[in-house]
Structure 1
């Protein structure tokens, strides 16, 4: 299938998700990156359709970031058991539909890619010093099967693998409700944010809130030490930064 710069395609690739246990090849760039993405398209002709402007007239944004962000995508490399990293892309993450929108470096084609073949992806966010990584988490299935294919933003990952702090950025759609002559409901569909936080430690994934009580309940075996640390550092535990500081202390114990 020929791809041109005026077309926007949706790739819903029916590839089975594999665990994050692949070895990584050298990262292809430039024309190599374009060829890799075009290869994805050529393998999914029967599943390609023109983008349908699904969000037209809907209030709110389906995207993690409204603007294009420099980024890269790690994908499965055919059936070789390896992965490829495609760099130098402009990306948007459609959180609501769990899709990536990518601009191919050389041709400037704009593509929407289903996330089934995607292992992870990274975005340069305006507020961060490093790329923000999104990846699937193997422990999520045990916590909630509905999270098996979800992507989580990695806020902190200890070098020894003892603890990881994750952010689940989700979107939900509130349907318009204007039935009946006296209805006071909203007269438009709206997409709103739903953000939640998780900690993975000792092979278990736990949902936490941005408060002290929730974190102490997540680590009952170290609750007294963490509580003392929070007090000594005067942490309000109402921000991501405080959560990361507390979990960083936990993994050092």
Structure 2
């Protein structure tokens, strides 16, 4: 009888151990699955223009900078737009912001209420569905000035010559003031917009919206271009003037 009881207890103990091990394995698999579900995977359908079917929009979670006065964004409100990737995939109807403090494209995932900074290496260009300042289209281009690297540029004109705007938010010193939380601050966040002409060889030259500034970029054709602008009553003082001027210079001196 004693031997039977021992066998029964051993058998019961082994059964319990098997159940515990099984439950443990199930728990581990569940945790792994949960971790995979928490990995950022935007639920966005690729358009018909896309050339892949399972590509994930890459990025990392974005954490805003505390800005006492001013803004770190080109557009403070979420604006719908499209993102074109380097591999040709197109994502439409995304809620976007352009962070001009860090030169990052920010995306709001409405399904998870998560804010994502899209990997710049994967982005070719992005287009807002409406014009916010000068142009709705932004293109990633290699900037040959220090610090060298890829930058997003607001595209005003694109041909053999290109007219672009580089938007950059700077933290600038100012007289002391109290912010909205009552803390003493000595700086503002200010958006600075600089125009550049990009030449066919990829060289960027900064230009101000003044005729004299433009002419210095073309020393060998200075007189001819001055005459060309006068004939077309172009004072080179607005973005529209600048676009027309670059188009005229391209047609007359940079034709293929």
Residues in 1 aligned to 2:240 and 2:112: alpha-carbon distance in whole angstroms:
37
The question of whether the paired residues in 1 share the 8 Å contact of 2:196 and 2:204 is answered with yes
Gaps of 5+ in 1: 10-24, 42-47, 77-81, 179-185
Distance 1:155 1:174, change over 3 A: same
Displacement after TM superposition at 1:237 (Å): 1.5
Residues in 2 aligned to 1:232 and 1:240: alpha-carbon distance in whole angstroms:
18
Match of 1:123 in 2: 128
SS for the counterpart of 2:151 is: coil
Distance 1:244 1:170, change over 3 A: same
Residues in 2 aligned to 1:2 and 1:98: alpha-carbon distance in whole angstroms:
29
The question of whether the paired residues in 1 share the 8 Å contact of 2:109 and 2:116 is answered with no
String of CA shifts for 1:135-184, please: whole Å, max 9, x gaps. 2223x22xx131422211110012xxx21101111110125665xxxxxx
Match of 1:201 in 2: 199
TM-score w.r.t. length of structure 2: 0.67
The question of whether the paired residues in 1 share the 8 Å contact of 2:65 and 2:72 is answered with no
- The answer to whether structure 1 residue 69 and structure 2 residue 79 are counterparts is yes
Higher relative contact order (CA 8 A, sep 6+): 1
Aligned length in residues: 202
Residues in 2 aligned to 1:127 and 1:101: alpha-carbon distance in whole angstroms:
16
- The answer to whether structure 1 residue 112 and structure 2 residue 99 are counterparts is no
Q: Which moved more, 1:119-128 or 1:233-242?
A: 119-128
Residues in 2 aligned to 1:148 and 1:99: alpha-carbon distance in whole angstroms:
13
Structure with higher Rg: it is 2
Match of 2:139 in 1: 135
TM-score w.r.t. length of structure 1: 0.68
- The answer to whether structure 1 residue 233 and structure 2 residue 232 are counterparts is yes
Match of 1:167 in 2: 165
Displacement after TM superposition at 1:119 (Å): 2.1
Match of 1:91 in 2: 96
Residues in 2 aligned to 1:132 and 1:154: alpha-carbon distance in whole angstroms:
8
SS for the counterpart of 2:197 is: strand
After superposition, the CA RMSD in angstroms is 3.2
